[in-house]
Structure 1
Amino acid sequence: MAFLQANIYSNVLGMEVMMNVVLPQRTEKLIGTSTAGSTEDVPVLYLLHGMGGNHSVWERRTNIERYVSNRGLAVIMPSTDLGWYADTQYDMKYWTFLSEELPEICQELFPQLSRKREKTFAAGLSMGGYGAFKLGLRQPERFAAIASLSGPLNIAARVEDLLLIRNEAYWTGVFGPLDEFKESEHDLLFLLKEALKEQKNLPDIFLACGEQDPLLHASEDVSRALSEAKIPHFFETAAGGHDWHFWDEWIQKVIDWLPLDEAETFERSGN
Structure 2
Amino acid sequence: MTHSRAFHPEGRLLMRYRKASLQTALVRDSLKYGVLAPDDNPGGLPLLFLLHGGGGDRRMLENQVALIEAAVAQGVIEPLVVVTPSVGMSYYMDSIDGDERWETAIMTVLTDQVAQDYGVDTDRQVIAGVSMGGVGSLRLAFRHPGRFVAVAALEAGVDPFLRLADKPAWYAHSEDARIGDKFGVPVDEAYWRSLNPASIAADDPDRLKASGLRIFIEVGTHDGLFNHHNVEFLHRVLFDHGIKHEYRTILGADHIGASLPGRITEALRFLGNSLVPEVPDEAAEEFRAAIRRNYEARGITPPD
Which deviates the most, 1-10 or 149-158?
149-158
Partner Cα distance (1:12, 1:185) in 2: 20
Which deviates the most, 249-258 or 83-92?
83-92
Find the residue that maps to 1:15 and give its secondary structure: coil
1:3 positional shift:
1.4
Structure 1 residues 1-271: aligned runs within 5 Å: 1-26=15-40, 39-60=42-63, 63-70=66-73, 71-89=78-96, 91-110=99-118, 112-116=119-123, 119-155=124-160, 157=162, 158=167, 163-165=172-174, 167=176, 171-177=179-185, 179-181=187-189, 184-198=193-207, 200-213=210-223, 214-238=226-250, 239-258=252-271, 259=273, 262-263=276-277, 265=279
From the superposition, tell whether residues 211 and 106 of structure 1 become closer, same or farther in structure 2 (CA, over 3 Å): same
Structure 2, unmatched stretches of 5+, are: 1-14, 282-304
1:24 positional shift:
1.8
Partner Cα distance (1:45, 1:10) in 2: 21
Task: Judge conservation of contact 2:181–2:187 (CA < 8 Å) in 1.
Answer: no
From the superposition, tell whether residues 78 and 68 of structure 1 become closer, same or farther in structure 2 (CA, over 3 Å): farther
Partner Cα distance (1:180, 1:51) in 2: 23
Q: Aligned AA for 1:44?
A: L
Task: Judge conservation of contact 2:17–2:65 (CA < 8 Å) in 1.
Answer: no
Greater helix percent: which structure?
Answer: 2
Q: TM-score, normalised by structure 1?
A: 0.82
Which deviates the most, 59-68 or 10-19?
59-68
List structure 1 runs of 4+ shifted beyond 6 angstroms. Answer: none
Task: Judge conservation of contact 2:17–2:62 (CA < 8 Å) in 1.
Answer: no
Q: Aligned AA for 1:248?
A: P
Q: Identity across aligned pairs (percent)?
A: 21
CA RMSD of aligned residues (A): 2.7
Q: TM-score, normalised by structure 2?
A: 0.74
Counterpart of 2:7?
A: none
Larger Rg computed on CA atoms = 2
Counterpart of 1:34?
A: none
Partner Cα distance (2:204, 2:270) in 1: 23
